[in-house]
Structure 1
Amino acid sequence: MFADTLDDTAELCLIRSAGELFHLVRDGVLLTDVTPRILSVNSAFSRITGYAECDVKGLNPNFLKSGRHAPDFYRRLWQKLIEDGHWHGEIWNRRKNGEEYLALLTIRAIRNAQGEALGYLGVFGDQSQAKREQELEAAKHAAEDAARAKAQFLANMSHEIRTPLTAIIGFAETMIDSRQTLAERAQAVDIIIHNGRHLQSLLNDILDFSKIQAKRIEVEHLETSLPDLLAGVVEVARAQAEEKKLEFGVHFMPPLPLTIHTDPTRARQILMNLLNNAIKFTDTGAVRLIVSFSPEQEQLHVAVQDTGCGIEESQLMSLFEPFAQEDRSISRRFGGTGLGLSISKELAENLGGGIRVTSFAGIGSVFVAMLATGRVAAADLSWDIRVFNQSSQVSPVRTVRPPTLSGRILVVDDNRANQELISLYLRRCGLAAEIAGNGQEAVDMAQQSVFDLVLMDMRMPVMGGLDATEILRLTGFSQPIVALSANIDRPDIEAALAAGCDAYLPKPIHLDTFYQMLARYLPNGETNRMTPGLIDCRVGEDPELERLRAEFLAELPGRMAKLRTAFAAGDQETLRSQAHQIKGVGANFGMPELTRLAGAMEFQLLRGDLCEVACLLDDMERSWQSSL
Structure 2
Amino acid sequence: MRLERQDIARTALASLIAGLGFALLAYVCVEIPRAYNQVTPIWLSNGFVVACLLAVDTRRWSWILSASLVGGLLAGAHAGDSVLVNFVLTPGNILQIWLCAWSTRRVLGREIDLGRPKHIVALVGLAGFAAPLVTGVVSSLFHTAIRGGDPWANMTVWVLGDILGVLTVTPCLLVLVKAKTYLAERGPTRDGLLSLLGLLVVTTAVFGQNRYPLMFLVPPMMLLVASRQEVLGGVVGAALVATIVLLFTMAGRGPIHLIEGSATEQSIVLQTFLAVSIFVSLPVAAFQRQRRYILAQMAQASESAARSEARYRLLTENALDVIVHSDLKGRVTYISPSVFAVLGYAAEELTGERPVEFVHPDYVAAVVAISQAQVSGQGDHFHDRVEYLAYRKDRSLIWLESRPTLALDPVSGEKVGLTDVVRDITARKVLEQELREARATAEAAAAAKGEFLANMSHELRTPLTAVIGFANLVDNQPELAADTRRHVGRIVDGGRSLLATINDILDFSKLDAGHMEIRPRHVNVADLVRDVLDMFTLQAAAKGLTLNSQGLDCLPSNLWLDPERVRQVLLNLIGNAVKFTETGGVTVGLTYDTAGERLGVAVIDTGQGIAEEDRTLLFMRFSQVDATIRRQHGGTGLGLAISKSLVEAMGGEIGVESQAGQGARFFFDLYAPIRALDVAEDQAPPPSLPTGCRVLVVDDNAANRELVRTVLEAFDAHVSEAVDGEEGVIAAEAEQFDIILMDLRMPRLDGVQAAQRIRAGQGPSAGAPIVAFSADVSSGSPGAVFNGSVSKPMTVESLIGAISKLLPA
TM-score calculated relative to the size of structure 1: 0.42
Give the number of the structure with larger relative contact order, counting CA–CA contacts within 8 Å between residues 6 or more apart.
1
More helix by proportion, 1 or 2?
Answer: 2
TM-score calculated relative to the size of structure 2: 0.34
* Higher radius of gyration, 1 or 2: 2
More strand by proportion, 1 or 2?
Answer: 1
